[in-house]
Structure formats: C-alpha cells, structure tokens
Structure 1
Amino acid sequence: MSVESVHKPQTGDGLPGDRFLDREEGWLRFNQRVLELAEDTDIPLLERTRFLAIFASNLDEFFMVRVAGLKRRLATGVALSSPSGHHPRALLERIAEVTHELMLRHAQCFHESVSPSLVKAGIRIVRWNELSEAERQHMQRFFRRSIYPVLTPFAVDPAHPFPYISGRSLNLAVTVRDPHTGRRMFARIKVPSVLSRFIDLGEDRFVPVEDVISAHLPQLFEGMEILEHHAFRVTRNADLEVDEDETDDLVQSLENELLRRRFGPLVRLEVEETISESVLEILREELGAEEEEIYRVPGPLNLAGLDQIADLDRPELKYSPMVPVEPRSLTQEDFFATLRERELLVQHPYESFATTTERFIAQAATDPKVVAIKQTLYRTSGDSPIVESLIEAARAGKEVVALVEIKARFDERNNIQWSRKLEDAGCHVVYGVVGLKTHCKLALVVRQEEDGDLRRYCHVGTGNYNPKTAKGYEDMGLFSAEREVGEDLSDLFNHLTGVSRKKHYRRLLVAPHGLRQALMRQIQHEMNNHLQGKPARIRIKVNSLVDEEIIDALYDASRVGVPIDLWVRGSCVLRPGIPELSETIRVRSILGRFLEHSRVFIFENGGEPQVYIGSADLMPRNLDRRVEALIRVVDAGQRMRLVGMMDLAMADSTSSWHMDPDGNWTRFTHDAAGTPLLDLQNTLRGDRHLRVVDA
C-alpha cells in the first residue's frame, strides 16, 4: 500500500480511512527482524543458531493464537474487517503469502549460512546417509535401548481410523507394502517429545531424531516393505476459552480446557518438500488441511529444536559473558534502609535481578518485623527463589497474599501447579479479577518500624518475577518506600482481592478503569503545550502498538506538530512519516542479545517531563481487558536517565530498524562511511553511568 493511498477515503474526524496497517503482518515483520539477526554474520555463530530457533518458536505461537483467532472468526460468522479494512479471508491469504516466504528464507539461512558455518566450527548436523558405519552401529544400539520402547506405529485401515495428530508434534508418514498380498498401507509414527530433537553422536556431531527412527522402520514394520517415509508436523489452535461468569471453579475449568487444547482445529501443516503427492493427499484429506495451510519446506522440520545446538558449551561462539552489577546505592546490607533514604530504579539484566528483586522478597520473608507480603505473579519458574521466599514467609506466620494469573497463555499448567504449592504452605492465593487478566507486576511489603508504625515497601516492575527470563529480558523496576506509593499499592491490592472500581490513584495509572483516559489526557496536554509555544514531545517504548484510539490521538498530536518518538519491539500498525498525518512521528525497533521488554512513557510536560514505567503495551487487551499499572518516576536523575536512554535509542547514530509508512523495516547498522553504529545494549551493558545515577 503506497503513502498516497493513505489519503484516499477519510473518516468523519478527517483522518484517512486506511491509516492502520495489519496487526498480523506487523507481527510477521517483527519475526522477520529476528530472522535478520540469524542472517547477520557479525553475530556469534551459536547466537545466530538461537535466533533461528526463536524465529521458529515465535511462528508456532503466531499460528496457534493469531491465525487461529482469524479462522475462528470465519468459522463462527464473526468475520468483521480489521481496522486496516481487510476481511479475515484476505488477511489469511496475505499471512500465508508472507509466511511461506519467511519460512523458505529461514530454511535457506539454516542450510546455506548457519549450517556451513557450524561445520567450519566443528559442529555438524548430519543426515543418516552421512553417518559412518561405526556411528550407525552406535545408533542401532541407541535405537533399541532408548527409542524403540517409546514408539507406537499407527496403521490406517478399515479397523484403524486415522490417528489424532497432536499440535507441534513431529511425525513420520510411512507407506508400506505387504509382499504377500501386494496391499499398500499408510501408517503414522509420532516422534515422542521425550526424545531430544537431535541425537548426540559425540564430538559435536548430531543427527535428527526422525532420521534415526526412519532408518529402523523395518524393525517397526517387520515383514513389510517400506516404500516411502516423510516427516510432517501439525500446528493447532491453542487459545483457551473459559467463561468465568459461568464457572464455579476457575482452576478446574482451566484444567479441563488445557486437556482440550491439544485437540484444537488445524491451522498449519508443515511437510518436507520431498514429500510425494500421494502421501500429501492422504494428510490433506485426513487432516482437513486447505492448500494455503500447507507449508512445504526443506528439512529438517521443527528448527525450534536448534536451541539444543545453541546451548553447546562453546563460549568462543557466543556473546561474551554477562555479569550484572549491583546498583551502587545498595551499599547497606539492609535493603529496607536503602529505600527509606531514596527510591531505587533498576534495569535488568544490566543490574542484578538476584541482588535487587529476589533480595527484596527474600529479606521480607526473613525479617521478623515484616508482617505481610502481597505480590502479583504472572509468569515465573517453578523453582523460583521468589516463590520459595513467599512459602518461607507464610510458614513463618506472615500474612502472604499471592495473586496468581493462571490464564497466562502457555503458562497455565505451570501456574496452577505452583499456585497449589503456595496454598499448601499457607499462602492466600487469589486468581485475579473475573473477566480480566492481572498483568501488572507488583510487590508490597508491610513492615513494623522501630517506632511501632507500619510502613509499606513497594516494587512496581515492567517484567515478570521470573529469575530465568530476567537474564535475557530487558526490564525495569522501581522500589519505593514513599507513602503515596504504598497507599496506591494497598488500594490496588484491595481492588484485586476484593470488589471495587477505583479509578484514581496518586502515582499509579491503572487499567482498565483509568489508564487509557490518563494517556489520552497526557497526549492532549502535549498538543496544548505545543500550540502555546511550550516544550512538547512524546517518547514511548512498548512491545506492541496496535490500539486504534491511542494511535489516532498520536496522529492528532503529529498533525499539530508535536514530535513523537516510538520505540516498538514488535507489531506496530501506526504509519509514520506521512505528510499531514504523521510526519513528526518516528518509529524505531531494536532487537539483539536481550529481549527489549520494558514499557516507558515520557511526556515533555513543558520542560518538566512526566515519566512512567510499567507493564502495559498499547493494545486494546492491555488497556481494556487487563489489570495493568504504570508508576510515575519522580526522581529527577532517574527521569533524565530514562529520557537519555530513549534519545539514545532513537538517535541516527544508534543501530536499529527504521519503519516506513508502508510498514516495511530497514535495518541500519553502519553509517555512510561504513563505520558501525552504536549498539544500544552493549552501551547500556558497559556504561555504568547510564544505568546508575547516584542521589
């Protein structure tokens, strides 16, 4: 779609009718940027391998959720056009076109660039016909011992209907012939998920597990002639639907829905490009796959399993070790004493999650003066030190309230398991607000001070309380013992565990009852300031920008001349740089070693910036259907730190992707003279002054 086309039909408010891009294609272009990192030969080899795995895993989730949602709308007759004006059928056709292109490009990157480079580094993924005789004999023994016992071949005939193919499973389609009768039969073998994606041959040589199984098919179909075999893979709708108003037990209903997830409708069929038409026709007919749902790619399939290769102990092929620092202001052993003196802003993984967030909860658990801990948990690991600290606190007799979001997509089962562990220890576990997901990242510690008064110590974050992802996700957290922050968190937790519709807080902006309106007021305030000749500017960092009302407000601000800088990691449906609509808007994206995950909102406010950090992206679900929280940063040094980070990210001297009006992204890594541009993450990692501002 051209820039000119944006000025065709207009809405009643004077805005172009096709001012929004497609969200789905925007997300695919984000994954394309991930793929471009895998293609970048300046990045360490095993990190490129990991980016190939991330691309494949991301694409799985895209089909399971976004594509599945479009197909469900078509199937149920709710086929309304998207904000871009495209019908779901047209969107699905465009998704198929772009995805086919990206999957082939992904395979090409693996076969023509990453795999040959791995070979040069002494790491080989070999197919069965490349194995030595000794390796084949070793695999024969391994097959009998470790693979054969868990395999179950399923024949298809009048007595054996076509078996169910579970989502994301790797399978073999096998055609055999009975030499006595000449009858041909079809069979399916599922590759058990307990097996490694690649079988380790030793000395950094690996063979795909399906190759080992294929080589031993005569043992599975003894007395039969193996005619052909082909790998295939199915992706299914994995979104969950639980009517919270109609269930008496949310956990039980969710567990039942999880059992049904594996039986969701097909949304993609992946096959190796060598598959015969006769076998593909069987799969197409039995699985009910439409032509646009079939993806023929060079094998091996399921390259999300390349994580196994990326995890090899070859430090010379990876990023240099990351050693988080401890904020200089944390000089006192007593974390609470530090917070009584000043608020603390931290940025992970540059600053240690273990010595800040984990330490905060751990000290609260063991401090005899702490009487209560309240915390939201959206995603965390089952062996999390934070969960263990909450259990320890409850066993010590403290009041512990854990607000667990068991509807966190793809973490539902894990969250149910460790929430029961918390309950068994005596914690009060609450499952959020009916009809909403609780996505905010909050911790509240109530402590009795020396004078006998109760004081609240708080943490508001942008990321999950997860020690594993905190090593690879860029996130921020603000610790505070200020009275107004404590009162805000008390009010919000009372809202989450009780019943209220509180809209107004002191330093928090909270969705769904107040955040959208507050952001709209801030944008309008910048417009008014600009028209009055006062300093005005908007800087926003989010993972996704797809909310139409917010985007229209940004368009309005741009039309009066407000400079707007948008740092968007993922999908962005706003069109930047269009004359008379968005010519003052710049959109950048930064991807790299760490997943940019924090959300930052900065409004110039006449020269005294209003700065917020928090959990909310600019999406309808975040603003209208989730409990989200942004906190206003008041310390002048911390505000300038965040302003400086935003300006550095948006600078033309910084390596990033630039978005054009048609939704295309161009990567800039070198200047006109060929000099490498500044790498933001390396700069933040190495420049302690940028990350830590002393009082």
Structure 2
Amino acid sequence: MTMSVNPGQIPSRGEALPDDRYLDREESWLRFNQRVLELAEDPSLPLLERVRFLAIFAGNLDEFFMVRVAGLTRRMATGLAVQSASGRRPREVLERTSAVAHDLMLRHAAVFRDEICPALAKEDIDILRWDDLSETEQERLHRMFRDRIYPVLTPLVVDSAHPFPYISGLSLNLAVIVRDPDSEAPMFARVKVPPVLPRFIEASPDRFTPLEDVIAAHLNQLFVGMEVVEHHAFRVTRNQDLEIDEDISEGLLQALERELLRRRFGPVVRLEVEESISPEVLEMLTGALDIEERQIYRVPGPLDLAGLHAIAGLDRPELKYPPFVPSKEAVPIDADLFAALRERDVLLHHPYDSFTTTVQRLIEEAAADPAVLAIKQTLYRTSGDSPIVDALIDAAEAGKQVVVVVELKARFDERANIEWARKLEQAGCHVVYGFVGLKTHCKLSLVVRQEADGTLRRYCHIGTGNYHPKTARQYEDLGLLTAQPDVGEDVSVLFNHLTGYSRQNSYNRLMVAPRSLRSGLVLRIEREIENHEAGRPARIRIKCNGLVDEVIIDALYRASRAGVPVDIWVRGICALKPGIPGLSDNIRVRSILGRFLEHSRVFAFEAGGDPEVWFGSADLMHRNLDRRVEALVRVADKAHRADLVQLLDLAMDDGTASWWLDGDGTWTRHRYVEPLDDDDDAAGAEPLVDVQRYLMKTRRWRTVDG
C-alpha cells in the first residue's frame, strides 16, 4: 500500500538543486526545543507558566533521546545507518546532536537555578535542597520518610554475589558508596527513587525539596551499620521506540503487549549525572552501563526537571495565564445540531471554539439519537476518562453499528489504547487496528442517520487533532463539521478502506496518504509555478508541525526559483533552508510557540485568484506521507477559505510575534516593534501582535454563517 515518490518522478525545472540544500532534522528538532526553553526564559510570561515550559523542555528532550537518538544509535549498531539528507554521516549527526543537547541542558539547568528559583522565592514558593530546610521541616520529613518512603525503597548492593542491577529507563537513582567499618572495603549500591511518590516533596506549605534529597538524608537507615561515604543522583535514558514484526502470525495487540514489556530493557542512550559526581563513581556507572563519553550529561542538580509540572500546577492563579473559556457560538447549544449541519458547514478552531459543544456533542447526540444507525470513528489518542469512548460504548449497547479504528501504535499511548480497544470490543463495537506497516493517523468521524423522509444522510467531522477532550483545550486544531454528500461519500470510502480491502485512490474532496497526498500537494505546487509563469496570481501558504520530506522541499525550492512567494508556518522541525540566493529567495519560514500548542496543518494555494485550501492530519514528513493513513479535506466554503488564508497571513505578518528561520538553521525571535539591543529594557517596548492572544480576544475570528 505504501507509495514513495522520489525527486526523479517530479518535473525538473531549470538547473539542478544544490546538494547541501537541507538542514539536519535532528538539530532542527533541538532548535525547536530551544524555542520552548526561550519561553521559560521570558520574564514577560506568568511565572508558573515559565515553570511549565521548563518541564515541557525536559520531557521533550527525554522523548528525543528515547526515539530519535536511540533509533540512530540502533541503526548504526546494525550497520543500517546511512548519510542524512543534510549530508552528515551518522557519527557526525550523533556528535553534533550531543554537542547541542549538552549546551541546551546546561542552559536549562541555569535558567532553573538562576532565574526561576529566585523568582519563585519572591512569590513565597521555594524549591530547596535538604540542607536549606529548617530544622522543623527536616523533622517533618524524618517522619514522612519513616511512614511513606522507607517502606517502598529497595537498596541493591553490587558485589561478587550481586551483579550490577538493571536500571530502568527514565528512572532517577542514587549511586551510593558505603564502607564496611570492619573490613574498610568500599561497596557500591544503587537506590531507586520511587516514581510512585511526588517528584518534589512538600516540606511545609509551598516549600519543596527533591525526593532524592530526602532519601539521601536517610541513607544510614538503609545501610545500618555501614558508613555512607558518598552518594550521587543519576538517571538513565533508554531506547523506547517500538519495533514490532507485524508479519508474524500472532495478533497485533498481542505483539504490541510483548514489545511493551521488552521496551524497558532497551540500550542506554544517555546518562545524566549531577556535576558533583566523583570520577570513581562515574567510571563505575559508565563501565556498568557500557556508554561513551558523549552520552554522559553532567548538569547541576536536581535532575529530572520534567517533575516541575507539579510545581506549575500549584493553586496560584495570579502566577498563571488568565482563565479562558472557549466560544460556544459555532453551533449554539439550543440549536438542533443535525439541522444546523444540513444548512451549512461549520469550521471549528480549537481551543477558541469549544470541543465539548461541537465534536464531542456530535458523537454523544448521535449515540442517543434513535434515528442514527451507525457511527464510525478513528481513535489515535484519547483521554483516560474519554466521553467520546463512553458515547461510542453507549451507541453500541443501544444496538447501533459502531466501528472504531484504534491505532495501537500511537507512540507512548500504546498501553492506554490497548485498554480502550478491549473495552470497546467488550461493549460490542467493531474494533479495527488498521494496516500492517501503517499507522492510522487521520482524524475522522462518520454518523449515518435516517432522516424523517426515510433517506440516509451522512454527517462528518474531519480534523487535525486527536479526539481528546483534555488536549483540545491546550492544542490549536481545526475541524470541519459537514453534511455535504461529497465529503460523506469520501469518508465512507476511506472507512471501508480502513476496515476492508478497498483500494480506491480517487476522492472528491479528500487527499489521502500514503497513495495520493504527496503527489497531490506537489501537483498543486507545480500548478502555482504554471500560474505565475502565465501571469496569474500565484502563492503558496503552508502551516504544519514538521517539514522534512525532500520531495516537497524540492518542489517548494522550484516554486521559489520560479518566483512564487512561499510562506511556511512551522511549529517544530524544518529541513528547508529559506532565503538562500538563487534557491529559496522567495521562501519565508516562521514559527509560533505560546500558551497553546500549534497543531493544525493547512495548505493554501492561490490557484489563479480563487484560493484552494486544504487542512487535515498530515505533516510534511516521511512517516506521514509514506507510513501513515492521513487525510486532508478541501475547504469548499468561500468565506471559510478566506478566513484560513487570513489566519496564515496574520501569522506571517512582520507585525506578528514569531521566530524567523535563517538559511543556516538559526531561529531569531521577533517580539517587539523595534529591535532591542542586549542592554535595552524590554519593559517599555511595544510588543508585536500575539496570534493566540488575538484569537482569544476576538473569539470568533471567522464568519459564522459563511
């Protein structure tokens, strides 16, 4: 089913493109996380939101090592690694990645220590090491250790009878050197910091200390009769990407469960240690874990700052973003939802539009409506207490035909999706796990309803985000609610493709990966070149999370060379080099990060003056275009198209706050009307337009009855 398109299959225009035309994707990802860190460094943001961005940075970096670095390391070990599209050899990629990651981790630790902790202290929130606690606080933690911590600790000694213990991925540990007073012989022991306990222990109201500090202060109770010589915190990151042989005879669900058990034992790709660790203990760890020097990351403590999410969640509303209530105007609560969709399409923009009163409402009302005969739904990620899943179960128990395509291989949500799949099956839903070798990533809902005149009508939702009520309040996404027959036919055909053996490639208003999406986008880029050459209006606007696919990038380079303006709004990775003379003079790349995670994907083509606009689930990456089932929908309503183009233009406007990408891979933040020197006071500077704040303020950024 997978179809790849290489540059040789696409029309060539003019001279050959230079070999060094791509940025390295791994470094580009790290630069994305650097932009997250810059938000934590921004004193204009509410303090606890800065703390949250510190935690997000740490969690992002964990995933980067578990997946990207681990994957490259594994391919090198098996001899399968090849030169990257950027021209770097695998070893060079690892070395450059290590250098950038080291710098960012040190910068992250410095922001926490030098900026965030002092700022928190001014607000009477303290994160303190053990020695900085008062005697009263230490006494309280003595009691807590005895009652709540000591019972779950297991010290493991290493000697001739006890080999070095297995260190699980992302676990925080103490390396302890103890000495027997009789023999004077030093011994190594490992104490795992229990993940079931809070990362930061509250010593007194709004005063916290790292859990490992509490444990370290009581090591004499774990090694009674021994002298504790030294102790140091360390943390290991392992390969946690899934490798599943889907051609074996056992079911995909069972294969996934087996691989989840295996995942804990992946090879080590990173060792984090506090910079105070002694050379002897570090040498013991590196030897036992079999790692290279570049895999060692020495940082000021404490480690594992992803645990700062708990601090960011403190009940201090004055230190957070002000509350925001999504608009419920897209489909008024007192309106008949199905009647409204028969009259017009509804364009949704989350979180500015309520997910609960639109998408969730569609599934819940469909489950309760006696006239609804069937519901079909894709689920990639959803919440632990998902009202969507509950509604699907209610529908099945009411006798409706319910089909759910569950993607078991949604990274890091695999176990949750297994549980949901079983729950849905037990309720009588038809659960399908998608295709061998492909992930089902498209976001589709289909409701089949028998109308009063006896005819059947299909109501659809096509979106860019997961059916996840919680992230719908944090992620920026687009969705289309429609009862248009051409869309209903397309979605029905695609579901038949997902659940059966249909091989249809042509659709009315959809582009579907992996068969036709890349080629469909390239075709439209080529048409813009033709329009420009013919003197007709031509322009390309793209919003995505990642741009890596070389075929798409080369097509955009050709468009730029032909004189077509190209605007790219990307959240994360971008391998395209903008602004290179003779290659990408007409390409601008911007990035926006903020309160909400920009997640929608939009593709707009000027098309001679009558813009053609698409949106959907697909990013411009190999995995999306070759190894996933993705869907884009063409926006038919003229007002909706105009509103989406207006949104893209707003983001790319020089008066909008954003990061700008240079051809060398450097991102520069533009925040103020006039550039500031390093010693200028930004407090009095006029800020540029914040897109998210603007949309929150206007709430209804588009024409409702378009």
Normalising by structure 1, what TM-score?
A: 0.98
**1:114 aligns to what SS in structure 2?**
helix
Inter-partner Cα distance in structure 2 for 1:400 and 1:522: 36
Equivalent residue, structure 2, for 1:681: 692
**Which aligned pairs between 1:171-182 and structure 2 lie closer than 5 A?**
171-182=173-184
- AA of the residue aligned to 2:699: R
C-alpha distance in 1 between matches for 2:340 and 2:641 = 19
Residue 701 of structure 2 aligns to a residue whose secondary structure is helix
Aligned to 1:652: 654
| Partner residue, 2:359 | 357
Q: Match for residue 497 of structure 1?
A: 499
Q: 1:160 aligns with which of 159, 162, 167?
A: 162
Q: 1:327 is paired with a residue of what secondary structure?
A: coil
Q: Report the alpha carbon displacement of residue 503 of structure 1 after superposing the two structures with TM.
A: 1.0
- Verify the 8 A CA contact 1:238 1:264 in the aligned structure 2: yes
1: CA distance between counterparts of 2:539 and 2:417? 41
Give the 3 Å change call, closer, same or farther, for CA 11–302 of structure 1 in structure 2.
farther
- 1:201-220 to structure 2, matched below 5 A, reads 201-220=203-222
Aligned length: 686
Corresponding residue SS for 2:563: coil
Shift of 1:329: 4.5
Amino acid at match of 1:616: A
Match of 1:512 among 511, 514, 524: 514
Can you list the C-alpha shifts for 1:310-344, whole angstroms capped at 9, x where unaligned? 00000000000011011244364321111000000
Rounded Cα–Cα distance in structure 1 between residues aligned with 2:149 and 2:330: 53
Query: Which SS does the other structure have where 1:657 is aligned?
Result: strand
Q: How far 1:192 sits from its partner (Å)? A: 1.1
Distance in 2 (alpha carbons) for counterparts of 1:79 and 1:437: 23
CA distance 1:247–1:120, shift in 2 (3 Å): farther
Alignment-mate amino acid for residue 681 of structure 1: Q
Contact 1:325/1:352, CA 8 A, preserved across alignment: yes
Alignment partner of 1:227 is 2:229: yes
* Aligned residue among 601, 621, 624 for 1:622: 624
Moved more, 319-328 or 54-63: 319-328
Q: Distance in 1 between matches of 2:43 and 2:503?
A: 53
- Alpha-carbon separation, structure 1, partners of 2:693 and 2:137: 43
Residue pair 1:327, 1:346 contacting (<8 A) in 2 also? no
SS across alignment from 1:690: coil
Q: How far, CA to CA, are the matches of 1:498 and 1:612 in structure 2?
A: 26
The share of aligned pairs that are identical, in percent, is 66
CA contact (8 A) 1:172 1:189 kept: yes
Q: CA deviation at 1:12?
A: 10
In 2, are the aligned partners of 1:233 and 1:271 still within 8 Å (CA)?
yes
What's the C-alpha RMSD, in Å, of the aligned pairs?
A: 1.2
SS of aligned partner of 2:588: strand
Is 2:546–2:572's contact at 8 Å kept on the other side of the alignment? yes
Structure 2 CA distance, aligned partners of 1:467 and 1:623?
A: 27
Deviation per residue, 1:45-96 (Å, 9 max, x gap)? 0000000000000000000000011101110111210001111100000001
Check if 1:479 corresponds to 2:481. yes
Contact kept in structure 1, 2:137 and 2:204, CA below 8 Å: no
Q: Does 1:398 align with 2:400?
A: yes
Instruction: Please report how far the alpha carbon of residue 567 of structure 1 lies from its aligned counterpart in structure 2 after TM superposition.
Output: 0.2
Matches within 5 A, 1:16-415: 16-330=18-332, 332-415=334-417
Deviation sequence 1:264-292 (CA, Å, 0-9, x none):
00000000000000000000000011000
**d(CA) in 2 for partners of 1:176 and 1:680?**
57
Which residue of structure 2 lines up, in the alignment, with residue 432 of structure 1? Answer: 434
Report if the CA contact (8 A) 2:238-2:270 is conserved.
yes
For 1:596, the equivalent position in structure 2 comes to: 598
Q: How many Å apart are 1:202 and its aligned residue? A: 2.7
Q: Which residue of 1 aligns with 2:672?
A: 670
The one-letter code sitting in structure 2 at the alignment partner of 1:66 is: R
1:382 is displaced (CA, Å) by: 2.2
- Give the superposition deviation at 1:691: 4.0
**Does the 8 A contact of 2:639 with 2:703 survive in 1?**
no
Structure 1: which amino acid aligns with 2:166?
A: Y
Aligned equivalents of 1:82, 1:406: Cα separation in 2? 29
Distance 1:175 1:331, change over 3 A: closer
Distance 1:523 1:328 in 2: 32
CA gap 1:456/1:161 in 2 versus in 1, 3 angstroms: same
* 2:696 counterpart of 1:694: no
Please state whether the residue corresponding to 1:408 is helix, strand or coil: coil
Q: Specify the code of the residue in structure 2 equivalent to 1:680.
A: V
Moved more, 46-55 or 681-690: 681-690
Taking a change above 3 Å as real, the CA distance of residues 331 and 413 of structure 1, as seen in their structure-2 partners, is closer
Structure 2 gaps, min length 5 = 1-11, 676-684
CA distance in 2, matches of 1:133, 1:629: 61
Q: C-alpha separation between the residues in 1 aligned to 2:186 and 2:449? A: 75
Distance 1:434 1:270 in 2: 37
Letter in 1 for 2:239: N
| Change over 3 Å in CA distance of 1:159–1:30 after alignment to 2 | same
Query: Which residue among 539, 558, 561 is the counterpart of 1:556?
Result: 558
The 8 Å contact of residues 166 and 262 in structure 1, kept in 2 or not, is answered as yes
Q: What does 1:527-542 correspond to in 2, within 5 Å?
A: 527-542=529-544
Give the Cα–Cα distance (whole angstroms) in 2 for the partners of residues 434 and 357 of structure 1. Answer: 29
Counterpart of 2:349, as a letter, is Q
Q: Is the 8 A contact 1:541 1:599 kept in 2?
A: yes
Distance in 2 (CA, whole Å) between partners of 1:255 and 1:299 is 35
d(CA) in 2 for partners of 1:172 and 1:241?
31
